Amino acid sequence: MDPAVEAAVHAAMHARMRAGGRGTVPAWLRETAGEPRWQAIIAVGVMIALQLRLPPLLSAQVAMPGSLQSYGHFLLPALQVLLGVVVVVANPRDIRHASPRLRFVTLALLGVASLANAISAVALIAAIVSGSPKLSAQEVLLDGGTIWLTNILVFGLWYWELDRGGPRARARAERRHPDFLFPEMTNSDVADPDWEPYIADYLYVAFTNATAFSPTDTLPFSRWSKLAMTIQSTVSLAVGALVIARAVNALG
């Protein structure tokens, strides 16, 4: 976009927000203190705990060579714990001043979590399709629900970490154009001027996308956000459809 045009768009956006009667630029468009890190820490902790409760048959163990299979069930969750500890120790509270290197560690953590959940999802689908007797109908329902919920947490954290450059960039107002357009951004008359998206908002987006298989009140604006929501919906649909089919077959 031409710099002059971009400047005009920004000026118009600010004027429109001020015209809403608030007399101030909303928080998502200006520099703020940022959100507390503990909310994301809890989400990561729950995500790792869910992965640990899966049986070895649905863990990274199935993708490990023979010499590592005895450690496969704990390998990826343990790596996530290690990366999470690095993030917390290096910067326990102040997201706004987190370093780019620390953000790389966070992205690595999410990459490992995504890999672990993808392995579990593929293993579950393979077990259902092949009619494996190692998983009962009850186990399929419980494990499928665990993978489905983990998928929501993984993608919610990805959305949170990537939208407008991540929580650090959002707190510094480094990028104006949103990757996700929340309804609070479009109606200044009903939104608090101090509102800005936190981790709970992104988890809500991930949950609604996993249940409706499409955007609800929050719209993806960038290509990567549209692609990410497509992948999440595909995983949720595949796991959900096969788990339900297996349960119906068992009940029948």
pTM of the model: 0.85
Q: Is 12 in contact with 181 (CB distance < 8 Å)? A: no
Q: Is 28 helix (H, G, I), strand (E, B) or coil?
A: helix
Digit-coded pLDDT (tens) for 98-119: 788 888 999 999 999 999 999 9
- pLDDT value at 43 more than 70: yes
What is the distance between the alpha carbons of residues 43 and 59, in angstroms, rounded to a whole number?
20
Cβ–Cβ contacts within 10 Å for residue 246, how many? 22
Q: Which of 73, 45, 239 is nearest to 142 (CA)?
A: 239
Q: Is 47 in contact with 116 (CB distance < 8 Å)? A: no
Say what the pLDDT of residue 148 is.
Answer: 94
* 91 vs 10, higher pLDDT: 91
Q: How far apart are the first and last CA of the chain?
A: 59
Q: Which of 98, 88, 112 is nearest to 38 (CA)?
A: 88
What is the distance between the alpha carbons of residues 149 and 47, in angstroms, rounded to a whole number?
8
- pLDDT value at 247 more than 60: yes
Q: Which of 8, 40, 10, 58 is nearest to 199 (CA)?
A: 40
What is the distance between the alpha carbons of residues 131 and 249, in angstroms, rounded to a whole number?
11
* 158 vs 61, higher pLDDT: 158
Average of per-residue pLDDT values in the chain: 83
Say what the pLDDT of residue 251 is.
Answer: 63
* 136 vs 205, higher pLDDT: 205
Both tokens of 132, joined, read: 């494996």
Q: Is 32 helix (H, G, I), strand (E, B) or coil?
A: coil
| Residues contacting residue 24 through CB under 8 Å, at least 6 positions apart | 18, 193
Digit-coded pLDDT (tens) for 234-243: 999 999 888 8
Alpha helices in the chain, H assignment, sequence order: 3-17, 38-52, 69-90, 100-130, 137-162, 167-171, 183-186, 199-212, 223-251
Amino acid at 231: I
Confidence of residue 192 (pLDDT cuts 50, 70, 90): confident
What is the distance between the alpha carbons of residues 77 and 215, in angstroms, rounded to a whole number?
30
Confidence of residue 209 (pLDDT cuts 50, 70, 90): very high
94 phi and psi angles, rounded to 5 deg: -90, 90
* Angle subtended at Cα 134 by Cα 131 and Cα 135, rounded to the nearest 5 degrees: 75
Delimit the domains of the chain by residue range: 3-251
